[in-house]
Chain A
Amino acid sequence: MADAFKDSFKQFAGKKQEILSRLADTHEERIINTLKNLEDEIISDLTKLTDGGVKLNTQLAIKLRPNLKTLIEKNFLKEADSIVSEYDEIVKEYQRFIKPLPIPDRFKILTKPDLKVINDLKFLSFSGFEDMGNRFLDTIANEVYQSSVTGRPFNQMVKNIRGQINGVYQRSNETAINRLTDYIDKNRYSENAQIIQKVKNAREILHTKYASDILGNNMRRYASQIAQDSLMQFDGQFTLYKGKEAGITKYQYVGTNITTTRGFCRTHLNRIFTEEEARSLWQSTWRGKSGTDPFINRGGYRCRHSFILYDDDWFTEETDDNIKEQTKTNDKQRKDQAKNKTQSLVPNVAIGSLLNRGSDKVRKAYEDDFNSQLTDQQKNIVNKIEKPEIIKNGKKGYYSYIEKELSAELNAVDGYKGGKGVKSFVIAHEYGHHIDFSTSGQRFRAWSQDNEGFKKAIQKDKKKFKGKEINKGNNNIDYTINDTEALDEIFNDLATKNEVIMNSGSFQWTRKLTELREDGYGEVSDIIDALVKGRFRKNYSMWGHSMSYWKTAGSVETEIFANLFAIRHNKKAYDLAKKYIPNTVKEFEKRLLELERL
């Protein structure tokens, strides 16, 4: 009877393996695509800044290093950050797995220490990507420097850099090569025998015909390996941690056999070990071994076998019934999760209690409204930084950096009476000011108003519009926008005009009122208003601040920062901000990363 239950358990446990495989495949694919973009952007940047190699000298080569660093951060590390955040899925899968099993309920929930461990493990995983990014930054920067010293032809330098990033899979001017690499990337995990053969043939052609391009230590090779291994390491370490916490002493080595499965894994698949037994066995040697820690190294690099918790006492009729019931729930949850990928493991930020007044219901609603305006990354940041002294649910929105007082309206709407209105993310906006001021390291100053990178990025973004540069003295350069055509276009992206009938006594006339198209577009409008110092609000009846306010020192930078903080969670609004002020958004994202790692 117990054997029948074991089958049911095995099928149940197999789901976890499916999730791991899916994540490993998609993460590798995403990293590969990111590296293609990185390669293209680095080459384009180098070509532009050195005028096709003509201007390359040792001084310029040294100056190019920060550019390379930014490109690696913006492409590779940003994607790595997003990938690591998806490790939450493993935790959710663990919770599904453990739920029907006969262990005390307190081990089935995630406690605060659990969340800390999860965050630490994620941080560790991200560090792996970060180390690799730094290593390749050195390699590429050295290549540029050495080329400038030795006078290496620019084309050869480009070829070497491409090789250092993507090895044999580097982008090429030859369409045939790009077609082959794209075909391999697209079909690398196909299970169709014919396609597997075609992929193999494509690889052979690539290696045989372009063998001279193969660079063993390229970024793609390591990055795609890290994408898989750090996921599996996270799983192994988290499983061991939770097992120990619940007093479970046995672990089963699970997964599937494929043609490339190592002999070691094939022999020990489905075996049950105590931690000590596994650690002892992992001291032996086998082909393809990468380390001696079973929960970190498994069979070796890219091995997709994993451990699950195991206990002989679990195999009872009652557990079997629970598993069947849980399987139904899990299927539903997975479907819902696929629909709503933004479901978060990060606990909500508790700010309801900071409200100066309000019923429990209002406090709860305020807290929910605020948390709905934040990404997981922002929640982590907010949780790290000291909260405001007072929060008010007030019609007026402001942040007092002297009193550390925040006022913002619950469920605020940008619209007009009788119009449909869209959501305004005013709580996150004002909280963005709080973060900006309280992390600057200076009293009554905001980070955004003093950070050269952020300020320069705003000026750079303004230059995309027609206008002129004004030197205000003391190296204070401003750029005034005078581009009605661009503002007309932005207005059309953000809003429409509706004709409404106005009444004054018995007199009636029509007037055009502005209506925003989507949630958060009021914040985007405020960004544009900052760029044109109040003309967008005034001339287009949009949302923003008065012209006199924009004359206040630091107002442009602090409001742009607060607005980006407010719309970070809303894809449509944030994508528009990226379109209008791409350089500023990059600096903003860099700042969020810094704050997250504080």
Chain B
Amino acid sequence: MSLTIEEKQEKLAECETSSDFYNLYTLIFKEEVPRTGLRSGNDEIDSIIDAIIDNKKIEEVKNPDGSTGERI
């Protein structure tokens, strides 16, 4: 889905719940938000907003092999 910057801003302003941000990301990029390794839900939504505004997908952060869940 191709949106202008104004449309993206409008849609972001309409997001109320956390799920709204995740759904908007899926709508725009046609894929789920990948693993970010971020511990805070706030921070993950920040990265979703940045991705939408910059029109750049979030790069998946892989958990290093042989280690427990990475927390950033």
Contacts and interface: CB of A to CB of B under 8 A. Distances in A.
A431 to B, nearest CB: 11
Contact of B12 (A397, A509, A543): A509
A537 B41 contact: yes
Given A509-B13, A539-B18, A402 B69 contact: no
A504 B70 CA distance: 30
Interface in B1-27: 5-6, 9, 12-13, 15-19, 22
Given A504-B9, A509-B12, A541-B45, A398 B67 contact: yes
Interface stretch (A54-62, A359-367, A544-552): A544-552
Nearest to A507: B9
Contact of A538 (B13, B22, B67, B68): B22
B43 A416 contact: yes
Contacts of A511: 15, 45
A538 B72 contact: no
Interface residues of A, number: 44
Interface string A110-121: 000000000000
A200 B35 CA distance: 70
A172 to B, nearest CB: 51
A522 interface: yes
Given A402-B65, A559-B69, A546 B18 contact: no
B20 to A, nearest CB: 11
A444 interface: yes
Contacts of A507: 6, 9, 13
Nearest to B45: A541
| Interface SS majority for chain A | mixed
A514 B41 contact: yes
A444 B18 contact: no
A136 interface: no
Contacts of A433: 68
Report the contact-size class of chain B (Cβ under 8 Å from the partner).
20 to 34
B67 A402 contact: yes
Contacts of B71: 396-398, 426, 545
A309 to B, nearest CB: 51
Considering residues A405, A544, A559, which has the most beta carbons from chain B within 10 angstroms of its beta carbon?
Answer: A544
B41 A398 contact: no
A64 B15 CA distance: 55
Contact of A541 (B18, B36, B49): B18
B49 A401 contact: no
B15 to A, nearest CB: 8
A305 B63 CA distance: 62
Contacts of B49: 502, 504
Contacts of B69: 398, 545, 549, 552, 555, 559
A328 to B, nearest CB: 49
A421 B53 CA distance: 27
Contacts of A401: 66-68
A50 B67 CA distance: 45
Contacts of A552: 63, 69
Contact of A546 (B13, B37, B42, B67): B37
A166 interface: no
A203 to B, nearest CB: 57
A400 interface: yes
A396 B72 contact: yes
B33 to A, nearest CB: 9
B39 A545 contact: yes
A135 B4 CA distance: 77
The 7 A-B residue pairs with the shortest CB-CB distance, nearest first, are A402-B66, A541-B41, A509-B13, A397-B71, A400-B67, A398-B70, A507-B9
30 contacts: A396-B71, A397-B71, A398-B64, A398-B67, A398-B70, A400-B66, A402-B67, A426-B71, A502-B49, A509-B9, A511-B15, A513-B42, A514-B40, A522-B40, A526-B39, A537-B41, A538-B44, A539-B17, A539-B19, A541-B41, A541-B42, A543-B40, A543-B41, A544-B39, A546-B36, A546-B37, A549-B35, A549-B69, A552-B63, A562-B68
Interface of A: 395-403, 405, 414, 416, 426, 430, 433, 444, 502, 504-505, 507, 509, 511-514, 522, 526, 537-546, 548-549, 552, 555, 558-559, 562
